[in-house]
Structure 1
Amino acid sequence: MVKIYLPSQGAEEWRRLLADPAKHWREGYSAMCLAKCWENAIGLPPEIARLLTSVGPSAELLVALPEHKVPLPGSNRGDSQNDLFALARAGDHTVAVTIEGKVDEPFDQPLGLWLANASNGKRKRLAFICDLLGLTQPLPERIRYQLLHRTASAVIEARRFKTDAAAMIVHSFSSTRRWFEDYAAFVALFAATAEPDQLVCVRPEGAPPLYVGWASGEIHDHKTLKAMDTRP
């Protein structure tokens, strides 16, 4: 894969990067909401900037890469395709941030389903992620696998870019904060408590320190929409 990235000319350019541009690019769904929000912000969206002030003052965006793929060991689907990867500066600290956009879509499969008849590759990948995040198996079956590998991506990229901290942030556009309970269950794995619109350091002694957060974006009414997030 060529590692040359061109400046964006608008939200529509994000569409071609999707795993399924026809299916995933729809008004009111996470891919389009995230693209429009970040493009309109011309920098960090204010709700993201507020969270990153937990790391340091005056948070600013350095670079953002939509649909950023991070290789993981095991399984035939070798990459975690993050909705957005950003390098940000907060005071004297640089932060590697993976962003998971959400409206009504769930966080993919719970571990109990993802591990059903699991291959050796899947088990190898989960062991790698748990070791990276300092988690002990077995994990509760209700934990959403997507949150695990998105957070692992943040740590991997933080080490690759040698940033001062890593962060995984759920950027939600749901008026009811749908699926927050799944995020909270994930945060509880680290003996921490999740709160909306807060960034919590779940591994302060990690290398690098790891943060997770839930940011509330511009609210939309999606009562008639169907959950359809099937991206890897």
Structure 2
Amino acid sequence: MKKGKIYMPSAGPSAWQQFLAEPEKQWRKGYSARTLAHCWEQSDGLPPEIAAMFPQGCELLIAIPEYKVRLPGGARDSQNDLFALVRCNQLTCAVMIEGKVNEPFGPTVGDWFRAPSPGKVVRMQHLCKILGLEKTPPEHIRYQLLHRAASALIEADRFKTDEAAMIVQSFSPTSMWFEDFVAFAALFGVEPKMGEPIGAILSNGGMLRIGWAQGNSAYLSA
């Protein structure tokens, strides 16, 4: 994605490929980037499993693939699979979608934060502040889930929405890596269930809607 503020209408799923960090490597049948693109392009608004994360009558206002959110402490942004603005009656929500098939959530905090550089220390402190965490999360927590959730809260504040949400949209037939999502949710004292949203109340007073949405596996062959 370019760093400008102008976004062009999509010409179809293949238009998403150009925004990937590694377009040739990541755009493969059966993998999350391509699967997610086909699912959202063929849905009339929100895919049903995503709509189920919100009250009835919710409406997709806009969706932007490969959406980058700047974080301090380094040159790399958090590149979210999809950013969506969703309206539910009189409320709006800033939503980050993390698409998954069988790919893991990347390094654990223990791996990413081992002998951290000054920049990583700054970034981790910022993430903890945004997420209302008093200290660095345990080593087994997946770092990717931290900055994806923080991205939702950051953009909710920037767009002045009423809510923030981070939803994992998994197309894995066996729901691979769900246990990592459960461990992440435990940071906020909640226990998620597949297909059901849950509101995590942050210690700083904020609220984050999180959920694991089971995607339609038919899109794996698209």
Aligned to 1:229: none
**Could you tell me how far apart the structure 2 residues matched to 1:116 and 1:75 are?**
16
C-alpha change, 1:205 and 1:141, in structure 2 (3 Å) is: closer
1:115 aligns with 2:117: no
* 4+ runs deviating over 4 angstroms: 204-208
**Could you tell me how far apart the structure 2 residues matched to 1:129 and 1:138 are?**
9
**Aligned match for 2:27, one of 25, 28, 32:** 25
**Could you tell me how far apart the structure 1 residues matched to 2:32 and 2:125 are?**
29
Q: Is the 8 A contact 1:174 1:221 kept in 2?
A: no
- TM-score, normalised by the number of residues in structure 1: 0.90
C-alpha change, 1:134 and 1:4, in structure 2 (3 Å) is: same
**Could you tell me how far apart the structure 1 residues matched to 2:14 and 2:185 are?**
33
- Deviation digits for residues 58-115 of structure 1 (CA, Å, limit 9, x no counterpart): 11100000000000000232x1000000000012110000000000000010000001
**Aligned match for 2:149, one of 148, 151, 173:** 151
- TM-score, normalised by the number of residues in structure 2: 0.94
Aligned CA RMSD, in angstroms, stands at: 1.6
**Aligned match for 1:161, one of 159, 171, 188:** 159
C-alpha deviation, 1:131, in angstroms: 0.8
Amino acid at match of 1:49: A
C-alpha change, 1:174 and 1:3, in structure 2 (3 Å) is: same
**Could you tell me how far apart the structure 2 residues matched to 1:117 and 1:51 are?**
38
SS at 1:63 equivalent: strand
C-alpha deviation, 1:210, in angstroms: 1.2
5 Å-filtered alignment, 1:63-78, equals 63-77=62-76
SS at 2:52 equivalent: helix
Where structure 1 has 5 or more consecutive residues not aligned to the other structure, the ranges are 223-232
Name the stretch that deviates more: 182-191 or 203-212: 203-212
Name the stretch that deviates more: 110-119 or 146-155: 110-119
Where structure 2 has 5 or more consecutive residues not aligned to the other structure, the ranges are none
1:129 aligns with 2:127: yes
5 Å-filtered alignment, 1:201-216, equals 201-203=199-201, 208-216=206-214
**Aligned match for 1:171, one of 169, 172, 176:** 169
C-alpha change, 1:145 and 1:47, in structure 2 (3 Å) is: same
C-alpha deviation, 1:139, in angstroms: 1.4
Matched residue pairs, number?
A: 218
- Deviation digits for residues 127-146 of structure 1 (CA, Å, limit 9, x no counterpart): 11111111121311000000
